[in-house]
Amino acid sequence: MTTPSPQAPVLQVKDLQVQFATNDGPVFAVNGVSFDLARGQTLGIVGESGSGKSQTALAMMGLLARQGQASGQVLYQGQNLLTLAPDALNTLRGAHIAMVFQDPMTALNPYLTVERQMTEVLQWHKGLDRKAARQRALAMLDAVKIPDAAGRISRYPHEFSGGMRQRVMLAMSLLCEPEILLADEPTTALDVTVQAQILALLRELQRDLGTAVVLITHDLGVVAGVCDQVLVMYGGRVMEQGSVEHIFARAAHPYTRGLLQAIPRMDGEASSLRAIPGTPPLMAQLPSGCPFAPRCALADAQCSQEVPVLHAIAASQAADEPFMAHRACHRTEAQVLHHEVLEAGHG
Burial of 213 (0-12, 13-18, 19+ CB in 10 A): buried
Q: Is residue 281 part of a domain?
A: yes
Q: Looking at the predicted structure, is the pLDDT value of residue 1 above 60? A: no
CB count within 10 Å of CB 135 equals 13
End of a domain among 114, 141, 175?
175
Q: Which of 160, 175, 190 is the last residue of a domain?
A: 175
Identify the H or E element spanning 212.
strand 212-217
Confidence of residue 320 (pLDDT cuts 50, 70, 90): very low
Q: Is residue 301 part of a domain?
A: yes
**Which residues are registered as beta bridge partners of 312?**
326
In a domain, 242, yes or no: no
The reported pLDDT for the residue numbered 344 is 61
| Residues above pLDDT 90, as percent of the chain | 59
> 27 lies in a domain?
no
Q: Mean pLDDT across the stretch 330-336?
A: 86
Q: Give phi and psi for 180, each to the nearest 5.
A: -130, 135
Q: How confident is the model at residue 321 (pLDDT cuts 50, 70, 90)?
A: very low
**pLDDT of 93 higher than 80:** yes
Task: Note whether residue 320 is domain-resident.
Answer: yes
Is 257 in the same domain as 340? yes
pLDDT in tens, 126-162: 999 999 999 999 999 998 889 999 999 999 999 998 8
Q: What are phi and psi of 218, to 5 degrees?
A: -105, 0
Residue 10 has pLDDT above 60, yes or no: yes
Tens of pLDDT along 267-310?
655 556 678 999 999 888 888 999 999 999 999 999 999 999 99
pTM of model > 0.85: yes
Examine the fold and report which residue of 121, 140, 175 is the final residue of a domain before the chain moves on.
175
Q: Is the pLDDT of residue 49 over 50?
A: yes
What tens digit of pLDDT does each residue of 67-89 get?
A: 999 999 999 998 999 999 999 99
The answer to whether residue 31 is domain-embedded is no
d(CA 125, CA 208): 21
| Chain Cα centroid distance, residue 85 | 25
Domain span including residue 161: 106-175
Q: How many domains does the chain have?
A: 2
Span 37-62, average pLDDT:
94
CA distances from 79 to 37, 64, 82, 84, 213 (A): 15, 19, 9, 8, 19
Q: Does residue 36 lie in a domain region?
A: no
Q: What's residue 213's pLDDT?
A: 94
Residues 118-127: tens digit of each pLDDT: 999 999 999 9
- Mean of per-residue pLDDT scores for the chain: 88
Residue 194 vs residue 186, higher pLDDT: 186
Q: Is residue 40 part of a domain?
A: no
CA distance 32 to 310: 10
DSSP of 175-208, one letter per residue? TT--SEEEEESTTTTS-HHHHHHHHHHHHHHHHH
What was the pLDDT predicted at 339? Answer: 73
